[in-house]
Structures are given as C-alpha cells and as structure tokens.
Structure 1
Amino acid sequence: MSLNFRKGILWGVCCLALPFLYGQEQDETLESAIFGEIGVCYVVPFAHGNNFLSEGYGLGNGFTIDAFVVMGSNWFVGGQGSHFKGEVTNVAAVGAIDKSGITHLHVMGGYSFINTGANRIFLEMAMGIGHANYRHIKEFKRFRDDGFSLATTLSSSYRITKSIGVYLKLDSYWDFLEVTTAPELENFFGRTQTFAPSIGIKLYTF
C-alpha cells in the first residue's frame, strides 16, 4: 500500500469523523473536572522539504503517546512520545542506510481554545521542545543520529463518556540533528521537517 494511499485513507476517516463528532447531541453534560489526559494515536507521517528524510525515505506508520496535566480550565502541560520507521527508497540521496527508526520525545505546553460547557468537545494547540533520535540500520551495522527537536500539535477531541474519548490531531516536528558532513550538505542532512496526522483514543483522569 503506497504512502499517498494510506494518507488518503487517514484524511478520509478524519473528514468522515468530524461531522459525527460535532453532530452529536450535547444536552448531556459531563460535569467532572478533568485533571489529566492520556492519548494513544495511530499516525501516518510524511516528510517535507529539501532534506534527506524527504528525498530518500518512504516513511511507515507509527504511533504517538500523549500525557497531559490540566492547569486550570484551559492550560495544560505534559509530554509526548512518537515512533515510526522509514525504508530508504533513494540510496543516492541517503547513502549507506537501509532503514531507520525515528523517535521523538517532547515536553509540551498548550491551550484549549474550545471547551464546550458540556466538557465534551475540545480544540487544543500545543508546542514543545525535546529530542529526536534516528536509529539507522545497514545490513548488520547499527548507528544513529540525534539532536534537538521542536514540535507543534493541533488536535480536536470528542469526549464520549467521563473517562474516554476520541481525537484527531496533526503533529509537526522540526529536527536539528548533529551530523558531521560537508558544510554545503549540513542543512540537507541535519534539518528535517515531518508532518504526522493521526487518530486515536483519549483517557481522562480526575
């Protein structure tokens, strides 16, 4: 299954899900205050820009895990972890690598722009800083690149019951890897940008 086809499926699911989420009856209120949220998502990432990840890889599906503590009615802080894999499709652009596993860990802070009176529908945005780890494999050899990472998240969630909900989100990662290469290639091998649309389940704690 091609990457473009998988992306099309995911966005199709998102478009179909949004009317369902916003079209539900909202006369049932969920009065319990939310203290924390834990979310697990299925993600279909794709790289963007002029860099080795975009030019040389076909990225595979992965997952993200979010954990946030609510600070007051709208602000929240916490962390996010993600992992996905990539197969090299253009050896000329990448070099001596067969495949890679890419992991992100971020400390996040954000704000809920929409929080309905029924505590049922939420629109949230978050930003974070953290670490990116690229683990490469070439036959029997393993090596890695890592570095500083920035992340942004835009998510829409629907709280089904007091303890569980579903959500859609778009994560964006900007990675600044510590690589040793020719000066004219530093940006190509040391800077990547990844978009990661996803759909998942969210658990609420009180």
Structure 2
Amino acid sequence: MSDVTPDRTHPQPAAQDVETRGGDRAQYGMCAALAGLGIVLLVNSAQLAPVASSNDSLGPRVIPTVLGILLLVVSVLYAVDIHRGGVGAADEGEDVDLGAKADWKTVGLLVVIFALSAALMEPLGWVIAGTLLFAGCAYALGNRHIVRGVLVGLAISLGTFYAFAIGLGVNLPAGILQGIL
C-alpha cells in the first residue's frame, strides 16, 4: 500500500491563473467590504457626542475609532497581498461531500423550531421555550436521544436564565413559571 496524498507544495493551475491577472475580484470585494465597514465605524464614531466622566476618561469614541482604523489597515494589507498573488487555499471539506445538495428538510425544520420558540417565549417563558428550542434543534440535526436532548436543553435554559437574572440583572420572561423561578 502506498500513500496517495497529493503534493500541495506547488500552486494549483487555477491559482496561477488568478496570480497572473493580479488577484481575484471576489477577494477585492471582501477588501472593499472591510474598508466600507471601517469607514462606517469612523463616521459613526465621529458623530458620537463627547461624554466627560470621571469614571470613563476615554469616552465612547475610542473603541469604534480604533476598530475602524484597524479595519482600514487590514483591508489595505489584504488588497496588497491579493495583488502580489496571495491566494487562499481551496475548501476541501474533511468528511463533507461538496457536491451534495442542500438538505432543505433540515433547514425548514430548524426555521419552524426557531419561529415556534420565538412565538412561545412570552407565554411559556424562556426556560420552557429554550428547552424546546435546544431539544428541537438537536433532533433536527440528527440527535435521536429525545430525553437527553430535553434534559440538556433544560440545564442550558435554567443556567442562562439565572446567569442573566443574577449575573447581569436582566430578567428573561418566566412565563407560566413566574412564581416558581
């Protein structure tokens, strides 16, 4: 038996074609999107009112401004890399059949579960709706241990309910469990 692993040290022919043309337009589009997001952050941070406080010496403008500048720098560096011939590795997928069609049944079931969870959030409360959300999503994605899914969903829902209530001071809807939780 011999190992038939392909040699990845030499660029693929398609990658060489991209290099000779000066880069891929889709990658330049990503550069433009990053630059656009950076500009939006800079414009919005410039419109923030200055706030003077003894607790916050920096104010609310600093973080969006720094992030906007960093996004602009990254977009320029990315564009230079693309122009010099930098090409990302093609997605191959480990155990995924890249030629397979989408599983619309699973996607539809997930959409229904999310919508049902959102609709039941107020009347039933976060704990019950979150439990149904987790267990339903786990089932839609292939888990057939229904009891385990419900128990794990209950643990996650209760944990997040109390983390928000005690840790953050944010009250999630309790629903029908109002006096119990």
- Structure richer in helix, relative to its length: 2
TM-score, normalization by structure 2? 0.19
- Structure richer in strand, relative to its length: 1
TM-score, normalization by structure 1? 0.18
